Amino acid sequence: MRHPATWYSSRTVSADDGMFFEDLQLGQEFTSPGRTITEADIVIFAGLSGDYNVLHTDAEHMKASIFGERIAHGLLGLGIEQGLAARGEPAAAHGLLSALKWKFKGPIKIGDTVHVLSRIAAKSDGPDARRGLVTVERKLVNQHGDVVQEGLTEHLMERRKP
């Protein structure tokens, strides 16, 4: 992904666990805990987002669809992915986002259990000398081993002070 400088905000990942840009290694991998997606998760997310698409809310309609049942909102899956990743990585590797590129590859159904595989894919200079840019490749994987979502997230991270 290429981003003009205006895409970077002034925010950085907090280094409160003592990790800095220099501490993340290219190719380093992380595995998150798992989480079972429930009907309540989907109902709460529909209420919060206001997205009541039949895909997520009408069990009868969805019986006749290719999915056969209600599925989780794509953005619910991504939110849960970020939550899981935060529990399986140093703060440095997930914190605040500057950009992302994401694909929804398959449905997440009620009762599915997902976890996150992350890999540090790239490190480059940030918009100033104080910060570096970390690109993380992430996959959200279900209990069958299917990748249901995947993509790249970019994070600005503080450099160790000289």
* Interface ranges with another protein (CB under 8 A): 1, 3, 6-7, 9, 11, 35, 41, 44-45, 47-53, 55, 73-76, 78-80, 82-84, 86-87, 91, 94-104, 151
> Which residue in 77, 84, 106 sits closest to 33, CA to CA?
84
Which residue, 61 or 160, is less far from another protein as judged by CB? 61
Which residue, 117 or 152, is less far from another protein as judged by CB? 152
| Shortest Å distance, C-beta 82 to another protein | 6
Which residue, 22 or 47, is less far from another protein as judged by CB? 47
> Which residue in 47, 45, 26, 25 sits closest to 37, CA to CA?
45
Distance CA 126, CA 124 (A): 6
In sequence order, the β-bridge partners of residue 155 are 97, 134
With tokens 């209420």, the residue in question is 47
